[in-house]
Amino acid sequence: MISLKSPREIDAMEKAGAALAAMHLGLRKIIKPGISSWKIEEFARKYFKAAGAKAEQIGFEGYEYATCVSVNDEICHGFPRKKLILKKGDLVKVDTVVSVDGAFSDSCWSYAVGEVKPEIQKLMDVTKKSLFMGIDQCIPGNRIGDIGAVIQHYTEDENGYGDVREFVGHGIQPTMHEDPMVPHYGEHGQGIRLRNGMTITVEPMINTGTWEADTSDPSGWLAKTADGGWSCQYEHTLVITNDGPKILTSQDPVADADYMYDDNYAKYLDHYREIAEKVAKQFE
């Protein structure tokens, strides 16, 4: 069942989204060559505790970590690992879900470790642009397929990348994963109609080569590209409104001004950013 959120519920999700966005701002200060991917997990756990946020991935279907940390050819659901040392030129995706007072938020961001090769920077730029192209389709009256169609056309037809099919976006609130499923591929005019008050994630996962994933890892979680190409992902939680899509996990309310639901978000983000910066100093 798809639930439409009230202004009170959206405000609660804004707060949770700001808490999650501030984690990503903190990660910018600590992701660098020479750290293990486990440091990302350590920072996230300490920050969430300090911020009063709950790491919802811990215990979800047996998953043991607050974050998914996927590197280079890993598409998603990579474990944070003490022996995985980040190198200059790596591409790291950090995905997590948190709740604050019962309100959920979900966001993934990609990070260049030091300076990356031009072709990897292009992959990051195209993937991020495709995220916003998909978000721009999130208006009442459009259909789910409109979101995926613009992402697929831009990433595959225009840029020659692979648009992952095995993993998709989803509704969110009152739990981590709700209906509807939100593919980042598809056809215009297909799927359910979008309505004011729906809260969903848009999260394109784009590969340098084939769209196909290798899910044979013994962990049952980690997915890699089938051909060894590199993969990039960006994800926002958003609410569909009659005034357009409003992002609930923005890391920059000024740059995302057209996507802001109200002035509360920036206030929430300033509060959580201060906490994240204090925790990040322990890892610098």
> Which residue ranges are tagged as binding site for a divalent metal cation?
95, 106, 170, 203, 235
Asked if residue 85 lies in contact with residue 69, where contact means CB atoms within 8 angstroms, the answer is no
Packing angle of the helix pair 264-280, 7-30 (nearest 10 deg): 30
Residues forming the annotated binding site for substrate? 77, 177
Residues forming the annotated binding site? 77, 95, 106, 170, 177, 203, 235
SS3 content of the chain, % helix, strand, coil (to 5): 35, 25, 45
Sign of CA dihedral 151, 153, 157, 158: negative
Q: How far is CA 67 from CA 41, 76, 89, 109, in A?
A: 6, 11, 21, 12
**What's the count of helices (H) and strands (E) in the chain, helices before strands?**
5, 15
Length of the chain: 284
Reading the block at residue 202, the tokens are: 């848009």
Asked if residue 221 lies in contact with residue 79, where contact means CB atoms within 8 angstroms, the answer is yes
Cα gap 17→95, rounded to integer Å? 13
Reading the block at residue 197, the tokens are: 């008050």
SS3 175: coil
CB neighbourhood size of 5 (10 A): 21
SS3 67: coil
In the numeric block, the tokens 């999700």 are attached to: 13
